Chains A and B, each alone.
Chain A
Amino acid sequence: MPFLFDIKRYSINDGPGVRVTVFFKGCPLSCRWCHNPESISFKTEKLYDKSKCIGCGSCVAVCPENALTLTKTSGVVTDSGECVLCGKCAEVCPTKAIEMSGRDYSEDEVMTAVLKETHIMDASGGGVTFSGGEPLMYPEALKSLLIRCGMEGIHRAIDTSGCVKSPVVEDILPHADLFLYDLKLMNAQNHRKWVGVDNTLILKNLALISDHDKEYHIRIPLVEGVNTDDENIIKTIDFLNGLKRKPTVVGLLPYHNIASKKYEKLGKTYNGNGMAEPSKERMTQILSVFTANGLNAVIGG
């Protein structure tokens, strides 16, 4: 069964047209700038938004493990040693300050949600985008959903980091119409530093997709201090130009420090050290380098 943390409608930035984006939960990467930190863990997690909490204590009263305490300064505090993630607190929370992130969805449930967008998908040339987390970490569930969507004639995109075993990619390839492929850093050591894993598999799988002549878009989150330096940009361009089939488009996504609240909800702290938003000028410069080297690049997208 697909293990998801969200299904979003009217997605206008995740592939052509208007799309439904299905978010798988769990990712082999741990990018320091991750916008969806709840997507990293492969387990159900509890999110707590203190600003929504009205301190009614309903959750404390209902918790079968007595894992919760209502405090004056920090709102509801969970003893993670006691909490079994049963979700009863989220059910009773009147304001949805507590929410559970991640659950098994039945395939039919996903299909029902996707098919609700049929009209707007048809009108816009849109489709479904499987994102995450890393959808390719759930190859069986993903493949089955891709086939179901294919039978409905729905355009299928996969938003992936590519950090999975190559046979998985090969197996999925015939059932996807488009890959949205994230590329962060070319230098393996830097990649490990910022993303937590090696980039060998990522580059290999991208070449694989290109060799199969499958359409793909490249998406590069640009973070000042991480990957906006000339060396990384040139290496990225060289790599892409060395592939059999070039990307349809390269989306340059300027980093925004927009996700810090999501970290708080997870009880984590966001470490923005060493990262900054690239300036507009730098973005324009990078764009022009890509363009000058024969790649169709856009800012955003």
Chain B
Amino acid sequence: MFEELKTKNRIPQRKSNQEGNFYKNSSLKPGMNDRIRILREESISTPASLSIERALIETAFYKENDGKYAIPVMRALNFLEICEKKSIYIGTNELIVGERGEKPKAVYTFPELTCHSVGDLHVLNTREQQRYVISEEDIDIYRHEVIPYWKGRSQRDRIFEHVPHEWKAAYEAGMFTEFMEQRAPGHTCMDGKIYRKGMLDFKREIEEEMAKLDYCNDPEALDKEDQLHAMAISCDAIIRLAERHAGKAEEMARHEKNPARVEELNRIAEVCRRVPAHAPRNFWEAIQMYWFIHLGVITELNGWDAFNPGHFDQHLAPFYQNDLENGTLTREEAKELLCCFWIKVNNQPAPPKVGITANESGTYNDFTNINIGGVKPDGSDGVNDVSYLMLEVIEELHILQPGNSVHIASVTPNRFLHAAIKVIRQGHGYPSVFNPDVYIQEMLRSGKSLCDAREGGCSGCIEVGAFGKEAYLLTGYLNVPKILEITLFNGVDPVTGKKVGIETGDPRGFTSYDELYDAFHAQLKYIIDLKIRINHYIDRMYARYYPATFLSVVMDDCIKKGRDYYNGGPRYNTTYIQCTGLGTVTDSLSSLKKHVFEMKDIGMDQLLYAISVNFEGEEVLRQRIINHTPFFGNDDDYADEIAVKVYDDMFDLIDNRPNGKPGGKYHLNMLSTTCHNYFGNVMGAMPNGRLAGKAISDGTSPSHGCDTHGPSAVIRSLSKLDQVKSGGTLLNLRFLPSLLRRDEDVVKLGNLIRSYFAQGGHHVQFNIVDTATLIAARDNPEEYKDLLVRMAGYSDYFNDMHENLKQEIIERTENESF
């Protein structure tokens, strides 16, 4: 049905899920040409390392200057100092230039926010997962130069100094996590303004606003002056950084023997002299423009989710068309530049996390999430030639970062959807799939203008925002199943025996399910209130002490308001709490309702005993629960209605509460990243039969293996949640590759996506299972009951098959290629 895509270079076969080594038995490495192959290989094989350069520049600057300037100006001067002094790296084969650290994969530390101890640095240097290499020599310098200055001054130290006992107890029990304790709030995205204006244009706007300040009548005029002054300095800082790259390229060109490379270096220099001071004029300059802004944002502070170009394909399309028309760019050259950009993002691992934050988000991925497709601000189809180029780049490079997503509105053509599914079925986990028709409604509901909503999209994992105009800060995950767990023990954490909630009564005295639910609701309210109270404190700490003066330049309407990104400067100011484990909490409530209060075949006392001993000696009881309870994700109203109730109650407890900024509001979010693993770790067994320590359900997905009626039943269950009320839901679906082998299967998966989106779904991503997963499924059948095997006239579940047939499917999956 589909004709082969005609590209200059054949896309070689791959083996899924193997970073850097998915090209089977072939000397041919991924990448469209030698340059890209080399850059990609360097990016993958270079280990992540810690660079102390920024910390040293900053500490010296603070020692000399702290107290001399208003805080925003101090922050901007500090940023300028870093841009002036940091080392400049231009790799041998690079076209797009600029690294955060002194080389690829080198990550800065941000001691003003989290001052790593010598012990932390040793752990980072030696731990098995997400290791960051650092030399003993550098650790020693850090010990003498950096740590003594920041100890007790860092944001993290100050936060933990402030928080009350009850917050600490709940935090340590794993009731919630705190995003801002060691990384700055960021979570935002760029819109199209930087392709129309350069930093000098922004500077002019800043100067105009300063000229308008009314010192006689505006009580905030002086604060605004400091902020605007700082923003102007930040513009200079990034221009200086670019000029230094131009200088370096010119110098390298003088020593270069290869005439082709001399030409490239001169071009790099020309580009860096143009952007970001001025608006870009062509495709190359547009990409480099964004990259300098990105570098500025991730160097100024270590904001979550790095930074994000948003609808990059739509922004680049006019440059691409124009360059093709005037003959200054070919399709292959454009793709090469995109590959260079992609690798640049991969060169920036997330800043190292320690403690609970490392548990909640244990990955090098820094969650830049490029939005591809979607709609234009006028509501029409946003897919263009660059969108397809990007899909090719994703498929061919197969690297961890940047994350990417396709946006499938009702106006999006099937051709694009199917092209994306063909990338999805390779099993990279990318791209994820979003529904603009629903997230635009989400944004309208939370007060954005139609045009701003359409220009918005999704960043990080699944969180929705108005790109270039909104601060939408994530403040931490809420462990909703754990809240039910402490409800069952009258506010006490059964894992530690410590009191972390309020007393809502011994559940053995409850005579109805409603009584139990009311107790759960009271605990939920208590924990959410506690979380919000401290959120406000931390939020103000950033606004007062660590304003993001550079990021504020590019976020509407910080210049106009003379306020910082953290201080209500953006047009919209949202704060999210991410509620995790809807599946686990629903299934547990369903089990309690059905067995304890309705069928009465299990006593509350019996169930509490069973979970307190982790079902040891109670396997019959556990199996009865697992196999005879309505669970979420099966299009069964019994369970789905409980999910809807929990979801709606969380919404009522969070949505529209003030967040301390003018007009700013809290909204509900439903993502989980990898936090469902951490949350599961801190929990005992649950009434749904889940054993102690096992992961809870992710996002709004059903509990692992509990959806046994196929993907269309899952999406029906999810559709019962009014997803427009959230700022994003998350659905992971597992598929065997055999369900996606034929062209018709691609079309049918497209139908499934369209069907979910027509019913109000926000997001779905597909985990095309690999051999390792199937082996895990064979060994732990309980957690993989959802794996379907579909063949003509026959259908079964993987785990209902004979051992030797399971083995056969495992082998077939191993050998299958598309």
Contacts and interface: CB of A to CB of B under 8 A. Distances in A.
A178 interface: no
Interface string A259-301: 1110010000000000000000000000000000000000011
Interface residues of A, number: 44
B9 interface: no
Contacts of B801: 258, 261
Main secondary structure of the interface of B (DSSP, over half): helix
B793 A17 contact: no
A251 B792 contact: yes
Contacts of A261: 800-802, 805
Contacts of B25: none
Contact of A95 (B627, B710, B712, B758): B627
Interface in B240-267: none
Interface string B487-511: 0000000000000000000000000
A259 B619 CA distance: 29
B754 interface: yes
Given A35-B793, A124-B755, A258-B801, A12 B739 contact: yes
A301 B793 CA distance: 9
B752 interface: yes
Interface string A109-147: 000000011011011111000010000000000000000
A18 B793 contact: no
A13 B790 contact: yes
Interface in B715-759: 715-716, 739, 742, 744-745, 747-748, 751-752, 754-755, 758-759
Interface centre among A54, A95, A117, A257 (most CB of B within 10 A): A95
A188 interface: no
A13 B793 contact: yes
A26 to B, nearest CB: 16
Interface in B58-91: none
A253 B792 contact: yes
B792 A300 contact: yes
A119 B758 contact: yes
A258 B794 contact: yes
Nearest to B757: A123
Interface string B142-156: 000000000000000
Interface string A9-35: 111111001100100000000000001
B748 A54 contact: no
Given A10-B788, A123-B758, A261-B802, A18 B620 contact: no
B525 interface: no
A244 interface: no
Contacts of A46: none
B591 to A, nearest CB: 13
A8 interface: yes
B712 A219 contact: no
A251 B792 CA distance: 9
A126 B747 CA distance: 12
Contact of B793 (A36, A96, A116, A119): A36
Interface in B746-805: 747-748, 751-752, 754-755, 758-759, 788-796, 800-802, 805
A18 B794 contact: no
A94 interface: yes
A219 B742 CA distance: 17
Nearest to A39: B793
A116 B748 contact: no
11 contacts: A54-B623, A94-B622, A119-B716, A120-B712, A120-B755, A124-B752, A159-B793, A219-B793, A256-B791, A258-B802, A261-B805
Closest 9 CB pairs of A and B: A124-B751, A94-B623, A10-B710, A261-B802, A123-B755, A94-B624, A35-B794, A13-B792, A120-B755
Interface of B: 619-624, 627-628, 635, 709-713, 715-716, 739, 742, 744-745, 747-748, 751-752, 754-755, 758-759, 788-796, 800-802, 805
